[in-house]
Amino acid sequence: METQKILFESLIKAEEHFEAGQIRSGQKLVNEVSRAMKSEGKVSNKLRHRFNLISAQSRYFNDISSFATNPKRNEIIQEIEALIAAPIENPKKHANAIHGLQTKWQQLDQSSKPAGREQWQTFKKLTDTAWEPCAQYYEELKAVKVSNAKEREQIIINILQYTEEKSAKWPGLIELSKYLSQQFQLWQNFAPVLDDDFIKLKTAYQDARKPINDQIRAQENKNLKLKEEIIEKVKVINDEDTQLCIQKYQRLKRDYQNIGPAGKKNEPTLWKILNESADRFYEAEKTIANDEIKIIGALYKELGQDGFSLSKTKEQLRELTKTRKSPEFLKIQKAIKSYEGKQAEEIILQKVSGYMDLPALLESEILANSSIDKDILKALNKPAYHNNLDEVTKTVVMMELMAGIESPDSDKAIKQLLTLEMLQNKFSQQVGETEKLKGLLITFISNVKAKKLSAAESKLWKRAQAALSVLAKHLP
């Protein structure tokens, strides 16, 4: 049953080749399936029906190939007839034209089925007639064909020598395939040859290549067996720990990839079987991942709801191991970051709100506002009342400098002085922004005139409020 399944898949692959225009590849697969079915004996009706359908397609393409090739040969015959009817005055050009048509004919025989007997005899007779006007040049071209034949003979000798030198220890099949390809390109360069030499040389060339082709197939078969052995090892992996199974599979997969090619027709099937043998490991991993996705979804819905605990949610997310790069995990991470940002903004806004009316807390008996720094609360509880408007103004201008707010022109001189001081102290030991802001607020409180701010002090405090809104994250 397994063999018939593979044969069925080969037929599907052959049909895909036909659809892609890869006719020869498809026909090879059809021929292989035909041989395998004969060897198998009895096969299912489903397989037989499928084979008949694809086989009919293959025969159709054979007919199409003949229809495509024969008209080309007929065109060559018509061109020969045209040369006979109207010979070219220059014998050399006439001979070259005939030579070109002969080359085309031989290349068709090389790349497709040989011409039929009747078609060949017609071409041969017409060619002989076409040569008559340029008998002298014919002898020259004959010399070229004889030279080409010698070059082809040398290629055959080179291939035989290569085989003799390498057969004791054959190179890898990739090197062998490359060598044959190079020799074929050389072979194609030396055309045409005399008709009498063509078949003889072609047969000798194919015979010379045979030992190398046989070795290529032998190495492919060896690689095929090695890859099949690795696939069998994958099939028997059965550890309880799925991750351990995957690790073993990945090691075997690397070994598989280090083996050379097993033949173009075998590689797709082998690769498919290898991957399917490991699917069961990844299915278990996929189940765990799906369960984690569900957990992430539930946590996402709970985000920000009543009873929601950010620390508990983060702890649960840390326990997830299969979905850390999933879109769902990244989405909830982004949502948590946004939630934390909003929480931080709310805290800052609450803190700013607490600082907006500091002067109203002067000499207050109950100073329970926890968002305000204790040293500032202490200054509010026992204010010094130094009544120094210049010092108050200076603190406000400094706050505006820190916040990047433009001070009124009336305070331009103070601003320049403070800017100079800041430049002079740039490289000296500096306190942080929060400590600096704390000192400025205490200075402001200590230098007002009385519990109730004067009009000038109130105006300055409004400027201070604007600066504090900008400096919210630095509030003590």
Query: Would you say residue 329 has pLDDT above 80?
Result: no
Which residue, among 114, 187, 206, 98, has the nearest Cα to 149 in the 3D structure? 187
Residue in the block written with tokens 């490359």: 178
* pLDDT at residue 115, as a whole number: 62
Chain-wide mean pLDDT for the chain? Answer: 80
Residue 369: pLDDT band (50, 70, 90) is low
Residues 6+ apart with CB under 8 A from 259: 223, 226, 227, 230
pLDDT score recorded for residue 267: 84
Q: Which residues contact 64 (CB under 8 A, 6 or more apart)?
A: none
- pLDDT value for 62: 59
Q: Which of 268, 258, 264, 269 is nearest to 226 (CA)?
A: 258
CA distance 475 to 456: 24
DSSP-derived 3-state class of residue 134: helix
What's the number of CA atoms in the CB half-sphere (13 Å) around residue 21?
A: 0
pLDDT value, residue 150: 92
* 245-270 pLDDT per residue, tens: 888 888 988 888 888 888 888 888 88
What pLDDT, in 10s, does the model give residues 110-165?
555 556 677 778 878 888 887 777 776 667 778 888 899 999 999 999 999 999 89
Q: For 413-442, what is each residue's pLDDT tens digit?
A: 888 888 887 776 765 556 688 888 888 888
Stretch 334-341: mean pLDDT:
78
Residue labelled with tokens 């008209």? 71
Maximum C-alpha span of the chain: 132
Residue 155: count of CB within 10 angstroms of its CB: 20
Task: Give the single-character DSSP code of 321.
Answer: -
Q: Which residues contact 255 (CB under 8 A, 6 or more apart)?
A: 230
Q: What is the pLDDT of residue 338?
A: 78
pLDDT of residue 155: 92
* Local structure of 345: helix, strand or coil: helix
Q: Which two tokens stand for residue 274?
A: 């290898």
Average pLDDT of the segment spanning 11-35: 76
For residue 192, whether the previous peptide bond is cis, meaning omega lies within 30 degrees of 0, is: yes
Judged against a pLDDT cut of 60, whether residue 65 lies above it is answered with no
**pLDDT exceeds 60 at position 64:** no
Alpha helices in 41-116 (DSSP H): 45-85, 91-111
Q: How confident is the model at residue 225 (pLDDT cuts 50, 70, 90)?
A: very high
Predicted local distance difference test score (pLDDT) of residue 426: 64
Q: What is the DSSP letter of 358?
A: G
Task: Report the pLDDT value the prediction gives residue 66, as an integer from 0 to 100.
Answer: 56
This prediction has a pTM of 0.40
Q: Which two tokens stand for residue 201?
A: 């040389």
> CB–CB of 191/227 below 8 Å?
no
At residue 154, the pLDDT reads 93
Task: Give the residue from 251, 257, 307, 300 showing the smallest Cα distance to 278.
Answer: 251
Closest CA to 30 of 15, 19, 42, 40: 15
Q: What percent of the chain shows pLDDT beyond 70?
A: 88
Q: Which residue from 72, 71, 65 is spatially nearest to 24, judged by alpha carbons?
A: 65
Q: Which residue has the tokens 């605990």?
A: 309
Query: What proportion of the chain, given as a percentage, has pLDDT over 90?
Result: 6
Q: What is the pLDDT of residues 169-201, one digit of tens each?
A: 998 888 888 988 999 999 988 888 888 888 898
pLDDT per position as a tens digit, 66-119: 555 667 777 888 888 888 888 887 877 887 888 888 887 777 765 555 566 777
Provide the token pair at 258. Answer: 């280090």
